[in-house]
Amino acid sequence: MSGIIERYNGFVEAYRQRHDNRDPGFFKFAKYALKAFFGYSVKTHNAGKHIFKGPGDSNTPAAKGLDSRAVTGMNEHSICRDPSEAPEGYHRVGVPDDKVSWNTPFEDYKPSEYTAVSVLRQPVWADPLKPKDVNWKDKAHQSHLGEIKFDQTGMPLNPKGRTGTEGRGQLGKWGPNHAADPIITRDGPDGTYELLLIKRGDNGQWALPGGMVDPTDASFSAAAIRELAEEALNSPEVLDDDIKSQLALLEGQLKIKGETDKEIEARIIGLRNKLVFEKLKNSPGFQQPEEVYKGYVDDRRNTDNAWMETAAYHTHIEGSNPYLNKPEAGDDAQHAQWVEVTPELVNSLYASHPDIVKHVPRIKEICA
Ligand code: RP5
């Protein structure tokens, strides 16, 4: 069994390296091909389409019904405007606080355009190259914040306003990109309160062990539990005899069929995660996790046309849950562990996670 686990970890590392590896040659080719065949410019931008002349102009978002959702508290929309927070490949132009709202004219606004090569290659999780080819009625493209607004060229508009970057950045979908986040707490020693966290593989920040919703997830809460299993429950200790024997059986069958090591690893990971998820969702506290937040995430990957939204679910672990005793990182997380809740810790969490976890009354109280 340890062989399976070692190969599994090796597969994850190899996947991570492949995923991070940008290909400038391909990017250059894609840029010219897209422009030649679709008239779609990757690097240039059409500043004119974002020039809104004023409240009386029939092309202004206000005139088209973009409501006060766009005028928001700046703390909800500051990380995704901050050039120093931007992931590799993003070049954000400055958006002053008083020019964030699409309702405010910003004649000189020239956002830089960026869509990652990994997205332009159109993997299964990414949308078509142009927003007009998206099925805006499908479930995956509905926003927790209500109706999505578009500019006059058909580009979806970030409901919290300008970010200094247009395109999709690293996000696969135009408009909302849905995630689900589990908030798992337990009582620690000496009256302390603990939160199960991961250290993110991309920027090393502590974060909730959440991730993107898959089309196969039955619900947002199921997605949150699946992500918890994938990102934080990779200790061999969570593999009970039943799971071990099912994995060994699958490995044997695949070997007899002559599958490659790579294929075997991928299938073992898939089955392992599925079995841990099934057991976890039937364990105490996980049948009906409490939804504490549904909305926008101020994520450093957001752009004017693609942004993160999440639904977060709280479960407090009473006593011992064998799956959660010894967290161990998996998927794209570097590290997983129970961490004592302190105001400093909470305020240092990734993206909007500080605000999201404060929806748990005890965490809010500790941070007050
Ligand atoms: C955040 O990014 C969400 O709240 C969620 O925690 C996470 C999902 O993105 P990946 O971890 O899959 O990159 O915005």
Atom of ligand 1 nearest to the CA of 202: 13
Q: Any alpha helices (H) in 282-334, and if so which ranges?
A: none
Backbone angles phi, psi at 267, to 5 degrees: -70, -35
d(CA 358, CA 367): 8
Residues in contact with ligand 1 by the CB-under-6-Å rule are: 179, 181, 207-208, 210-212, 297, 299, 308, 310, 351
Atom of ligand 1 nearest to the CA of 231: 11
- Low-confidence winner among 23-32, 193-202, 323-332 (lowest mean pLDDT): 23-32
pLDDT of residue 340: 98
Closest-CA residue, ligand 1 atom 2, reads 211
Q: How many CA atoms lie within 13 A of 271 on its CB side?
A: 19
Compute the distance from residue 354 Cα to the ligand 1 centre, in Å: 13
Work out the pLDDT band at 319, boundaries 50, 70, 90: confident
pLDDT at 12 exceeding the cut of 70 = no
Residue with tokens 């990757």: 42
**pLDDT tens per residue across span 70-120:** 334 567 899 999 999 999 999 999 999 999 999 999 999 999 999 999 999
Burial label, 17 (beta-carbon count in 10 A; 0-12, 13-18, 19+) = exposed
pTM: 0.79
pLDDT of residue 322: 85
User: Longest C-alpha distance within the chain, in Å?
Assistant: 71
**pLDDT tens per residue across span 170-185:** 999 999 999 999 999 9
Residue count (the chain): 368
Percent of the chain having pLDDT more than 70?
80
d(CA 63, CA 230): 45
Write down the mean pLDDT value for the chain. Answer: 83
Counting ligand 1 atoms within 8 A of each CB, the residue from 15, 79, 231, 299 with the most, and so the one to mutate, is 299
pLDDT of residue 62: 32
Sign of CA dihedral 233, 239, 245, 248: positive
Q: Are 311 and 180 in contact (CB under 8 A)?
A: yes
pLDDT at 61 exceeding the cut of 80 = no
Please tell me which residue, 86 or 33, carries the higher pLDDT value.
Answer: 86
pLDDT at 4 exceeding the cut of 90 = no
Percent of the chain having pLDDT more than 90?
73
254-257: long-range pairs with CB below 8 Å, 24+: none
pLDDT of residue 231: 92
Closest-CA residue, ligand 1 atom 3, reads 179
Work out the pLDDT band at 63, boundaries 50, 70, 90: very low
Sign of CA dihedral 34, 38, 44, 45: negative
Compute the distance from residue 36 Cα to the ligand 1 centre, in Å: 34
DSSP element (H, E) containing 12: helix 2-20
Compute the distance from residue 210 Cα to the ligand 1 centre, in Å: 6
Q: What is the DSSP letter of 150?
A: B
**pLDDT tens per residue across span 221-255:** 999 999 999 999 988 888 889 999 999 999 999 99
